Structure 1
Amino acid sequence: MSLVLPSELVADRVVPTLRAMLARRLHERGATQQAIAGHLGVSQAAVSNYLGGFDGEPLVAEHPDAQATVDRIARGLDDGDLDGYDALAELIGLVRTLEDRGPVCELHEREMPALRGLGCDLCVRGVDSEAERERAVLASVRTAARRLAAGDVASLVPNVGTNVGEALPGAAAATDVAAIPGRIYTMAGRVEVPANPEFGASKHVATAVLAAAAVDPSVRGAVNVATDDALLRRARDRGLRTLAFDADYEERGEHLRERFGEAGVPDVAYHRGAFGVEPVAYVFGESAVDAADRVVALVGGDATE
């Protein structure tokens, strides 16, 4: 029996087909061959070949998940809603779908007929669930940061900067909370996100998220913004719960857990500052995206509760 690895089929047949599909979608949206080559990481000659009639593997090209994902990536790259990292994550997720008893399995059985009828699960056996959870949290924080950048929230960014974080289920330490390294800041009135999220990147947001999750495990996301009376008023008008806490506590995490334990986890927790401490509010949500959407909504953006 010849030994053919599934990864060989992915590299030789699946990836070229997906690149050709993506090249055509981008071309249909008006992208130049040079721009397409930059997105795909291939030469302009390869793009010309993709556009000139390269059909690839029909099992992949005609698969509905492949078509939907390629359309989504092309639209995101063209509109600027996706960066290269996000597009890569989408493609990796798609390949996993195609491997899970999908076209890759059929291709593999063609190359190795002895696999037929065995219910082979070589490609999906032993998926690391912990790694999957970490990827999901990182993706949530990336999306939340983009929504803050697109929303009209620059006026709420404190001098110390804003951050958005999300904790893993059962998080116990700051290293279990993903946030933006270096914090989110403003430049020329625009919100700038300096880097992709990492675990352990923000002690302050992590402290608030961990305190909230310790009392209510469903609350795992938070955004810190400047304490603003208008924002607090709009929050109360919308029926959101606000809670003041003391900025002067050295052990802020313990203080927040105590306050949350007494009154429940609020939608917005805030302090009025102290000597050398800027007034800051934490807007909470079930995820980083929920918290970011709440901030955007409270300043009159398009996101909804």
Structure 2
Amino acid sequence: MALVLPSELVVDRFLPTVRAMLATRLADRGMTQQEIATKLGVTQAAVSKYVSGESGGDDRFRDHPETVATVDRIADGLAGGEMDGYDALSELLALIRDLEDRGPICELHEEEMPALRGLGCDLCVRGLDPDVRAERDVLANVRTAARTLASIPEMAAAVPNVGTNVGMALPDARDETDIAAVPGRIYEIGRRIEIPANPEFGASKHVATAVLAARSIDPEVRGAVNVATDEALLEAARALGYDPLEFDADYEDRGEHLRDRFAERGSVPRVVYHQGAFGIEPITYVFGETAVDAAELVATLLEEATT
């Protein structure tokens, strides 16, 4: 994995672009190339390239509204004498902090370090605190679980028409925004499993509802996968010592209904299912302590069901 610091991108991509933008705007405001060079701390030859458009630069900064506004503000201040180098530096540092907070610098960082994609990375803003690590671990777990599902030979037949999803809750999850899942769900296309995107928090209301209901009874249960209800799979669960729990599909508040059913059982079964209703496809939820645990149980159940 390439190890790239955001500061490298600031130096290599952001700073040359902003200098070129400032040089052009200061020239438009009547300053000579030598005066511009003195203000920017570069050579007159560099200013000549900036002004002539030979310096290149990155369009994602050049076209970024906040960057444009900041550069215009600095150019006005330097040209009019209302700003000095200290003031300009202060403006640029504030801009960089904003661009590192899910802005263009963050986008560039993810391009240079693909391992950061889908992690909701905000190290530049918050640092590596326990909350960030927990979010990162949950997203990584769901990614692994999705790949596990895609590798199961029998999985294509188990994907319902509405699609499959796999989710996992943060340790102190309160609502669906604390549950990571795959946006757009996982689909079967041509007997192959398609995972459309990296997991995100708040990506699946249905899986989140099931996980939150389970956690209200057993906080250790944080992962779930939904598959099509199939009698062979339910029989496989029974054969392996799991006692599937049936619930009604058409309850208006499914979360409350699931909590009631779990409370009646006195625990959260690893397998719960419904047989569908008018306009509702039969669905089975497989639970685990993590998303990977749930996905691995799905693999075990499907293997048992087909032998």
Q: TM-score, normalised by structure 1?
A: 0.59
Matched, 1:277 2:292: no
Partner residue of 2:296 out of 284, 293, 297: 293
Point out where structure 2 has 5 or more consecutive residues left out of the alignment.
Answer: 9-110
The amino acid across from 1:291 in the alignment is: A
Please name the residue that 2:204 is paired with: 202
1:95-119 Cα shifts (integer Å, max 9, x gaps): x9xxxxxxxxxxxxxxxxxxxxxxx
Please name the residue that 2:146 is paired with: 145
Partner residue of 1:222 out of 224, 246, 260: 224
Please name the residue that 1:134 is paired with: 135
The amino acid across from 1:135 in the alignment is: R
2:225 counterpart SS class = strand
Partner residue of 1:170 out of 154, 169, 172: 172
Instruction: Supply the distance in 2 between the matched residues of 1:277 and 1:248 (Cα, whole angstroms).
Output: 8
Please name the residue that 1:16 is paired with: none
| 1:180, distance to aligned residue in structure 2 (A) | 0.3
User: Larger radius of gyration, structure 1 or 2?
Assistant: 2
| 1:28-177 correspondence runs (5 A) | 88-89=115-116, 127-152=128-153, 153-177=155-179
| 1:257-276 correspondence runs (5 A) | 257-263=259-265, 264-276=267-279
| 1:127, distance to aligned residue in structure 2 (A) | 3.2
| 1:246-265 correspondence runs (5 A) | 246-263=248-265, 264-265=267-268
Instruction: Supply the distance in 1 between the matched residues of 2:198 and 2:177 (Cα, whole angstroms).
Output: 16
| 1:85, distance to aligned residue in structure 2 (A) | 10
Alignment CA distance shift 1:213-1:266 (3 Å): same
| 1:297, distance to aligned residue in structure 2 (A) | 1.2
1:137-172 Cα shifts (integer Å, max 9, x gaps): 000000000010111211010000000000001211
The amino acid across from 1:282 in the alignment is: Y
The amino acid across from 1:184 in the alignment is: I
Instruction: Supply the distance in 2 between the matched residues of 1:275 and 1:89 (Cα, whole angstroms).
Output: 43
The amino acid across from 2:151 in the alignment is: A
| 1:279, distance to aligned residue in structure 2 (A) | 0.2
The amino acid across from 1:265 in the alignment is: V
Alignment CA distance shift 1:271-1:142 (3 Å): same
List 4+ stretches of structure 1 deviating above 6 A.
84-87
| 1:214, distance to aligned residue in structure 2 (A) | 0.8
Instruction: Supply the distance in 1 between the matched residues of 2:295 and 2:166 (Cα, whole angstroms).
Output: 7
2:137 counterpart SS class = helix
Identical pairs, percent = 62
| 1:261, distance to aligned residue in structure 2 (A) | 1.0
| 1:241, distance to aligned residue in structure 2 (A) | 2.5
1:162 counterpart SS class = coil
The amino acid across from 1:191 in the alignment is: I
The amino acid across from 1:285 in the alignment is: G
1:300 counterpart SS class = helix
Alignment CA distance shift 1:85-1:280 (3 Å): farther
Point out where structure 1 has 5 or more consecutive residues left out of the alignment.
Answer: 1-6, 12-83, 97-124
1:203-253 Cα shifts (integer Å, max 9, x gaps): 000000000011000000000000000000001100012100000101000
| 1:87, distance to aligned residue in structure 2 (A) | 6.4
Alignment CA distance shift 1:195-1:215 (3 Å): same
The amino acid across from 1:182 in the alignment is: G
